[in-house]
Every structure is written in C-alpha cells, then in structure tokens.
Amino acid sequence: MYNYIKALHLIFVITWFAGLFYIPRLFIYQIEAFHKGSPEKEILGEQLKLMAKRLWYIITWPSAILATVFAIWLLVLIPGWLEHGWMHVKLAFVILLFAYHLKTHQIFKQLQRDEVKYTSNFMRIWNEGSTIILFAVVFLVILKNAINWIFGVTGIIVLAVLLMLGIKLYRRIRDKNPKA
C-alpha cells in the first residue's frame, strides 16, 4: 500500500506545482491585458480570468489538498521519518510552499476583481518562487542526510540569482523587441 500512496502523493505534488507554475503566467497576461484599450482589455481580461479560475479551483487547489492528504498518510504509515532532520527541513519548505500558495490565492482573488496591485515584472519574479521551493525539496528528499547544508543553501541562492538574471535578460530582450 505504501508505494500506491507514495505514487499518488507524487502525482498530486506534480499537478500542484503545474498549477503554481502556470497561474503566475496567467496573472502576467491579465495584468498586461488590463493596460490595453477597449475592447481588447475586456475580451482578454474575461477569458484570462476564466482560465485562471478553472486552473486554480479545478487543478491547483484540489492537487494541493490531495498531495497533503497523501503526505500525511505516508507519515502515518512511516512515523519514523519525523525523527530525521531532513524531514524537518522538508516540512519547513512545505510550510513555505503553503505560504506561497496562499499569497498566490490572494493575488488571484484581487485579479478576479480587476484589482491590479502588481506589475507584470513583479509577477515574473513571483513565478520563480515555486521553482526555488521545488528545487530545494527535490534535492533534500533525494539526498537526505548526504546533503551538505552549506552547499545546498549556496546552490539555492545561486539558482535564485540565475533566475533573476534570466528575468532581467528577458526584460531587456523584450524592451528591444516588443513582439518577443
């Protein structure tokens, strides 16, 4: 039974992250559509809100809940995992992931009400938050106690810096060629 529960946990973690990766892209498009003229603003805005609503409530939230249910089930099956330091760190990242998810939910609700409080550039940076958490959790789970925390933290910082540089490079390319 353990392998079935673990497989279901992984499937729903993957679909949860798929939603978290895509929803900020939809936010970027919504924000950019908000600044267009009529009728493009209204047509794009309504379609993007519908897409975001379906993604958020049909895929992302259910996946988050089911990933959590199966994770708890795994911990019930093997409670000894809670004695390992790597599991404590993983659970800290999971708490961070839920904080990211809830803040993303807040942004989702604002955009559903046509309240634009963030720029599309901010959302491009926000989009990388779940990527950094995913890298941290995957390496932590795979390497467990073998991970050297100094190298691990350094690696996450380097990843974050590289992602930010990539965003800046994209912005420069986009500013030179608005159709990119």
Which residue numbers belong to the known binding site for heme?
A: 9, 90
**R_g of the chain computed on alpha carbons:** 19
Asked whether 161 and 169 are in contact (CB, 8 A), the reply is no
Return the structure tokens found at 118: 């963030």
170's CB contacts (< 8 A; 6+ apart) are: 124
How many Å apart are CA 168 and CA 173, to the nearest integer?
Answer: 9
84-85-88-89 Cα dihedral, nearest 10 degrees: -140
* DSSP 8-state symbol, 154: H
Binding residues: 9, 90
